[in-house]
Structure 1
């Protein structure tokens, strides 16, 4: 998605240019071009602006009471803002390899200073190799100025993600459908790393969110799932109920015949 509005800040680091744009109350972070990497509403930074980040929050409905999540790729911190604001019992470990991106998230995007939000300036793969505290949810949103970081298509990396999950945890990946790496990652690599226990939701703006389950695809109660999605969506001020319906529709055979994890 192309950034609109006025460029209000520019800086560089070892990886290239970083720019910040603002359009009314929306502030956007870009990596070396005009493609939005992150976007927040400066008046309500905990409200997720992009559809793909909204869909990723369905992970909180697909696992029970998550207490620890790992964010691989911080960007401006939109996911960190939402999780921090709405899940007070959840510890967040956010990993970002670019120190300057972390500084911008603090200065320009109001990223909270709190012991529940732990920032790590590190490469995502390197962080996982250090055997971090296991997480209920891992979110991967790894992008460079030229597109998706190829790590997200590598089986060894995805296997390390699975090893960093608690039993029954979920890996949630943001894939860009126009990337040449995506089809391989979705159809072979991710499926292999998670024993074919993967569901996906394609989004009109070009993203595809994949949910990979360590403990097997859950058996959903459709009415209860929609009801809880509606309630969480009201808290988050996003159309989560609509996203939940699309997820169930696109994966109705997988959810219907999945083994129960209860």
Structure 2
């Protein structure tokens, strides 16, 4: 998922003189891998102590994934910290589905936090799947299963075959934004149908999207009230049944505090985000195109 990382500029004092020079500490990004795919050129590069994945350009600050090379378990981007805080809503998911792989940040974090859980990931781009294994330490296996196919097709088939998940995370992006067929009422109804009792959906979107109000209305139409977490990106947390109250959120957050803080999650800050709920929306709903 794209996320903006600012370059760091530091003042430098030379020879005791109060001379401030605006010097970037960053050299040019170093390309490690480039591979064409049907969805854009997949690039892996190192920049400012981080290994990053992006499409088409190394200089675009809207990056898909970055991993701190010194602290590889750290959740570098705010949106991943918001998404992992969904454990405050459903603290013990046993079956998790993630649509979108990127550099496998969420997959690896959840596997470490939930050693008994099964994490299924659907990634449409085989080049991204290869890069996640070769450069970001992603290791598919019995508990970490990878399916290279379209996320909607997978979810529709999961509904037909009666599969159920405790948590569905939607983190699928092309070069520009969420693919249209993963945003509609019809798609979200399929997602809701594969949620188990107390199951939740966690969706990563943008705060500055032109579709913001329509996304809100669409999620509210399918799920009712949802938590609306915002910091740069917007993360929607909705439930198949009823959202928990703030007392339950705080209790679950307290229970997770010691395990999440080493990942650079500010538990108090993330908890406070759940005070904001979106009850409904009045904009036009996002729907599948009508058959011709």
**Fold-level match, TM-score > 0.5?**
yes
- Number of residue-to-residue matches in the alignment: 248
Distance 1:247 1:65 in 2: 18
Shift of 1:31: 1.7
The match for 1:192 among 221, 225, 230 is: 221
Distance 1:83 1:60 in 2: 10
CA RMSD of aligned residues (A): 2.1
Please say which of residues 98-107 and 142-151 is displaced more in the overlay. Answer: 142-151
Distance 1:43 1:235 in 2: 13
Distance 1:20 1:238 in 2: 25
Is 1:26 aligned to residue 56 of structure 2? no
The C-alpha deviation readout for 1:77-96, integer Å capped at 9, x for no partner, is: 11011011121011000000
Is 1:62 aligned to residue 89 of structure 2? yes
Please say which of residues 227-236 and 155-164 is displaced more in the overlay. Answer: 227-236
Shift of 1:146: 1.9
SS at match of 1:49: coil
Shift of 1:168: 1.5
**Counterpart position of 1:9:** 33
Unaligned runs of 5+ in 1: 255-262
Larger radius of gyration: 2
The TM-score, its normalising length taken from structure 2, stands at 0.79
**Counterpart position of 2:76:** 49
CA gap 1:223/1:145 in 2 versus in 1, 3 angstroms: closer
Moved runs in structure 1, 4+ residues, more than 6 A? none
Distance 1:88 1:209 in 2: 25
Contact 1:19 1:32 in 2 (8 A): yes
Shift of 1:2: 4.7
The C-alpha deviation readout for 1:192-234, integer Å capped at 9, x for no partner, is: 111x13111111x2x1110011111112316524523533423
SS at match of 1:66: coil
Shift of 1:53: 0.6
CA gap 1:246/1:15 in 2 versus in 1, 3 angstroms: closer
The match for 1:142 among 172, 178, 199 is: 172
Contact 2:228 2:236 in 1 (8 A): yes
**Counterpart position of 2:255:** 228
The C-alpha deviation readout for 1:67-120, integer Å capped at 9, x for no partner, is: 010000111111011011121011000000001100000001110243110000
